[in-house]
Amino acid sequence: MADLENTSEDSIIICEDVHKWFDDFHVLKGVTTAFKRGEKVVICGPSGSGKSTLIRTINRLEVHQRGRIVVDGIELSDDLRNIERIRQEVGMVFQQFNLFPHLTVLQNVTLSPVWVKKVAKSEAESEALALLERVGIEEHAHKFPAQISGGQQQRVAIARALAMQPKIMLFDEPTSALDPEMINEVLDVMRELAASGMTMLVVTHEMGFAREVADRIIFIDEGAIVEEAVPAAFFDNPQHERTQLFISQTLQH
Amino acid sequence: MENNSPQSASDKIPFWRDIRVLRVLFQVSFLIGVILLAGILYTNMLRGLRGLGLTLNLDFLNDEAGFGIAEGIAYEPSDAYLRAFWVGVVNTLRVSVIGIVCATILGLVIGIARLSSNWLVRNIAAIYVECFRNIPLLLQILFWYTAVILQLPSVRESFTFFGGVFINQRGVYLPSPQPTSGVKIWIGCLAVGFIFALALYLVRLRKLRQMEQPGFAAKWALPAFLLVAILGWFLIPGKPFTLELPALKGFNFAGGIYFSPEFAALLIGLVIYTGAFIAEVVRSGIQSVAKGQWEAAKAIGLSEFQTLRLVILPQALRVIAPPLTSQYLNLTKNSSLAVAIGFPDLFNVGNTMMNQTGQSIPIFAMIMMSYLFISLTTSAYMNWYNRRINRIGR
């Protein structure tokens, strides 16, 4: 614990030798890294490399089978209370938005504050409306998810995650399911969020966004970190052969 | 060939190739076929009745029935056939309504249990479903009747619970509430409480509307009404109801509420059989909700139970409602198996009436119409419910 406490001064997430298997398939092969408070990290890599799985282990949507993950001083274990506490501190945005189709936009955002944090409904609603205004969809608050566009849905999903006032936000390919003309409205919200000092872990293929916003880029291939560097070094002077190949392929289009 | 412009006028199409003509033609010929068939059957029936010396009329319904009915609403053998038939209808309704409520609860619990992450719970639920779904219902009802209920202890050795509930091979005896002289004052008290609660309900409803919030509108009204009811109960001199306990008189219990062994066996059989089907309906409904919904709900910190209640079940209900309706209809219709163990349901009573009067056609028609009416009412309600839940969020 001694070394952990030292690093946890500025590290909000610590991963130590994290392993994960799906049956026989070894998805994560000993990932060790740490994320600082307020840091924006873009995680990239070819599909099937384990980048999504890595961020999903951080809020326990996937269970890691070996190694340790500590989030804001709480170790992820089989302790239900720890899992509950971590999920309240970590917000997540999914590729497919995953809004609740039977609830209005506003209800989507207030659901968790009302039921988990037991915030009074009126208070939760005014906070939710403020968040919806922040992501620019306050006028759709009483519509159902099916009645708004994909980009708008993803912005609602961001507001829903923010409603729990998380310390960390995880983004799992947030723009991959969007039509091209809607990608920017979501990235703009993420830029604004980054500027506000939120700790962000973003799995994405948007290399422009990565270069502009990220403090650090982690390149994962075949379940292990191949290279991590600041954007300028990552894009202009990649050290590893696989990174070079990935960058040349991604930047072609 | 150059002058061959596309055909624009429909009258160029010969009628045997014209879809519009053919469509009408097929329907008309089908209708004629149905009418002819019905006519043949009807004349055949009339010829048969003439041979037996019977005419088609319902006068016999006012004749004295002359046979006893073991249980149900008030009835004497000296009552008319119509009354006897009505006793059967009420008995069918009673077993169906109680059966539907119990089967729904059982099916919901087992359906959710089948998806549990707990190995034991999941497999016990699976075994239950596979066993009871795959054994004929008639067999199950006979099993509960002869192998379980009739093997219960005799009257003098009844299982006794709380000093007022008795279970033995003659049936189930429960205490029944009997009104006393204080009951009128208490009902008056309830009326005042109801008006008070209604006012509270309307106030809260308006407040919720103003805040544009969904919420439990009866949140104040319900406790207020209960409070008045309970205060009234204790403050009025003399209790409004006394419990009449079943008491052993001679060879059997008297007083209280009574369920016969036949009723119990039929109910248990129907509930356990239909519950297994409903469990499958519930399971498939829950599985139809995308996995991402579970993940999103977990990620915002909802517990497993909250996820199920607030996110999964409301969406699953859309898939569950239509096949659930079929199961309700099946339960109602399957209750006619009562005839096998002698429970006096609609079909059983009707059967006795046919044997006594020989008026099989009108009685068959009455039985069919009764089931049809019960089923169509259930269907209409479930369709309305289905439309209501489907309107939200689509």
b/e string for B109-128 if b means 16 or more Cβ within 10 A? ebbbbbeeeeeeeeeebeeb
DSSP string, A116-173: TS---HHHHHHHHHHHHHHTT-GGGTTS-GGGS-HHHHHHHHHHHHHTT--SEEEEES
How long, in residues, is chain A?
A: 253
Which tens digit of pLDDT belongs to each residue from B318-374?
A: 899 999 999 999 999 999 999 999 899 999 999 999 998 888 888 999 999 999 999
Rounded to whole angstroms, what are the CA distances from A2 to A5, A15, A34, B37?
Answer: 5, 16, 16, 91
Identify the residue whose tokens are 């005896």.
B173
Residues of chain A in contact with residue B393, where contact means CB-CB under 8 angstroms, are: 101-103, 144-146
By three-state DSSP, how is residue A103 classified? Answer: coil
Q: A111, A142, A160, A165: which to substitute to probe chain B, counting the most B Cβ within 10 Å?
A: A111
- pLDDT of B392 reads 65
Query: Would you give the end-to-end CA distance of chain A in angstroms?
Result: 46
Structure tokens at A32: 């060790």
- Hey, are the CB atoms on A111 and B394 less than 8 Å from each other? no
Check: pTM over 0.90? Answer yes or no: no
B142 with B341: CB under 8 angstroms? yes
A7 membership: H or E segment, kind and range: helix A2-7
b/e string for A3-20 if b means 16 or more Cβ within 10 A? eeeeebeebbbbbbebbb
A74 with A84: CB under 8 angstroms? no
B128 with B383: CB under 8 angstroms? no
- How far apart CA A171 and CA B27 sit, in angstroms, is 59
- Hey, are the CB atoms on A99 and B296 less than 8 Å from each other? yes
Helix A150-162 / helix A121-134 crossing angle, nearest 10 deg: 130
Tens-digit pLDDT string for chain B (394 aa): 445 555 555 567 888 888 888 899 999 999 999 999 999 999 998 888 888 777 777 888 888 888 888 888 888 888 889 999 999 999 999 999 999 999 999 999 999 999 988 999 999 999 999 999 999 999 999 999 998 888 888 777 778 777 777 888 787 887 777 777 777 788 888 888 888 888 888 888 887 777 655 566 777 788 888 888 888 777 777 677 777 777 777 667 776 777 888 999 999 999 999 999 999 999 999 999 999 999 999 999 998 889 999 999 999 998 999 999 999 999 999 999 999 998 999 999 999 999 988 888 889 999 999 999 999 999 999 989 888 887 765 5
Contacts of B380 by beta carbon, 8 Å cutoff, 6+ apart: none
B336 with B100: CB under 8 angstroms? no
3-state helix/strand/coil string of B333-391: HHHHHHHHCCCCCHHHHHHHHHHHHCCHHHHHHHHHHHHHHHHHHHHHHHHHHHHHHHH
Residues of chain B in contact with residue A74, where contact means CB-CB under 8 angstroms, are: none
Nearest chain B Cα to A109, which residue?
Answer: B300
Residues of chain B in contact with residue A102, where contact means CB-CB under 8 angstroms, are: 314-315, 392-393
Contacts 24+ apart (CB under 8 A), A121-129: A121/B211, A121/B213, A121/B215, A122/B211, A122/B213, A124/A163, A125/B211, A125/B213, A127/A163, A128/A159, A128/A163
- The domain segmentation of chain B, as residue ranges, is 9-48, 81-150+260-393
Structure tokens at B56: 């088609």
B249 membership: H or E segment, kind and range: strand B247-249
Q: A102, A108, A147: which to substitute to probe chain B, counting the most B Cβ within 10 Å?
A: A102
Could you count the other beta carbons within 10 Å of the beta carbon of residue B390? 12
- pLDDT of B6 reads 56
Give the right CATH number for B81-150+260-393 from 1.10.3720.10, 3.40.50.720, 3.40.50.300, 1.20.140.10: 1.10.3720.10
- Hey, are the CB atoms on A125 and B211 less than 8 Å from each other? yes
Amino acid code (one letter) for A85? R
Q: B204, B212, B300: which to substitute to probe chain A, counting the most A Cβ within 10 Å?
A: B300
Contacts of B208 by beta carbon, 8 Å cutoff, 6+ apart: B214, B215, B217
Q: For residue B305, give how far its alpha carbon lies from the nearest alpha carbon of chain A (Å).
A: 11
